[in-house]
Structure 1
């Protein structure tokens, strides 16, 4: 049992559905919120109560902390689960929730602020003895940027200190390009994140993106749930994730998971979080950021460990200890997650909002589908275009991908274009099946698409 009585889910889509299900399994009432566009949504129908919070635009609803706080008070919940995205990593929102006498299902506000500042997070990682990519503190004087770049070496990445989720990053290859890009990068950071701070980081060539899932309670217990490989990306947005990371040496796995736990302990982390790393061809790994929330790809970790990540979030928020120790967590088999979006890969992945006129979902052994969409629902132009996540488990990587190909053969959607066809192509690609691939592999595979 979680120790909680009633939880408001301050989010939408498949993650709202996921959290509501976990609440009901734990015997906890779930309150949904919705905008004008989501009035007839799946999660609204599932919840014990639902509250309208504003207009369709996210800034007028899911990103409006005052509207969410008002809904929480009106429905007399004792906790708020932020899901991912929107205000999930906002220290100010978490603080407002706590000041209202409610439980924020996530890290403490101070930890959110520390991990949300990428430069501060780098500093914390270095203090915890976790390897970091060579880089700088936020740039205070643009006149110093040339000297900083020379000390690190090109190619470099210009990164927004307050960025995340692959946003706010610009690659530069020489000093002239860096000087040209800096003002635009600062303006972009100010517009996207409300903070113009920029820092430099060395670009790691042909790197893999490997992340470690951690859980931590308020009783001093911190565990890892092994790692995921998220290297199949387009413009730093993940399309396919695997667990565990293919062909990762046992020594590297032990070192990288230990580093993630060490960082979580160092910052006094609470809840579910993901520590992200770059791994080079020699097996060296470098911290890049910590996502202080539940991740989109958490189901593949659940598939290989049998641990319900969201249920553990509820337990932790209710004051209980983790339900497992590190020694009790076993890695079993392999899993892959495919994100099916309402986008057209032949038109530069342009979103294709509209009504889902037909939706057939796959099934069978090892197949899980997480979705916030039902037939007849609409993909809104106001939010992320995710239709469904296909999570496919197998006794090994080969079987997981074989089941993924079968799941894609059964998956059918009409009314909008989707990336399902691209996933059918990718899950049969010889390079990916030979594995592992680096973070630029998909861009090279797609060519001009």
Structure 2
């Protein structure tokens, strides 16, 4: 089979391209820009485009299908050529569904936690040598690729993103999978450029719930009122399995979860992660892993990439980086760190980088998100605001939105870096929260501060 990827450089797209290349398919691709690590990984497998840009000549009648990424625009010349030739065009979630029609589809959805929960499930399955197809949104320790596809496995585990599928398919990705088993971790307004009201955003999760196959299984967080409302009012004929935060304790900076065999130490921490663990346990049990085997495996889980990932540690200092950027994620992450390290002060540095976080109407949602920390810093790039064609955001607006005394706001990357390197981190935890890179900051350089 010959497959051409339009916008091959995306996180999920390049991993899907590699997975299909490994299956023996003939893969080509194009993009106007490809960042690391996508660039190096595509190059390793001989899939990096020789020249960046969009070229009609890449799309020919001998292609079997075209897979279209969200980075491309609806007037992309390669897309228009594919339409003219009458080629079959898939978004990547649409292709994954076609691949998994005869499999049991397990889809993990929610505004937050879905990457971690998916990672936990895959960690447990690998520990017990249970092979499964999968697609996850972050690199996991012990896994070479974020996408794995076979013709033989019975299950496929999919991280169910609520963002749009492609420029010509404006449905949320997780609406396309039609799960047999699903999970909803939480619902907190995000992606306001696509879902302008919270009601509109929440409705997408209701549609997801209705998309479960008849008699399917929904595992859901009963501590989230919006999730409960969506799942428990659904008219779909599904089985419902609620979960909540398990009992735990924290001793000398280590979190112990209560099990039937007594307290068990974990390498992750925070109530949000413990909720994730409880949801992952239910999913694994529905996939044939019993509770004791789940606990045996999860004890060695260190977390998903960029999810409360420990960058450096000494006796007096810790540095974490986290993907948190939406208000609910920021609040959960800061609370987790504060509760875990009560004897240290917390310096939290949040970058406002996404479309939603840089929207002045959405900024008010951040009130209270950083209240748990001892010192709060916000970084944003006015240039990023211009690139996203948003109305200018001022430092004063940000301070008013967070409503924190002595909040520091940086807009210059050099000044922000200078602040970090001139600040004492003795008896402190430095928490870096961003889906970007603070204007080009190399986080590895921060290890010298410990």
**Quick check: TM above 0.5?**
no
With normalisation by structure 1, the TM-score equals 0.30
Which structure has the higher relative contact order (CA within 8 Å, separation 6+)? 1
Q: Which has more radius of gyration?
A: 2
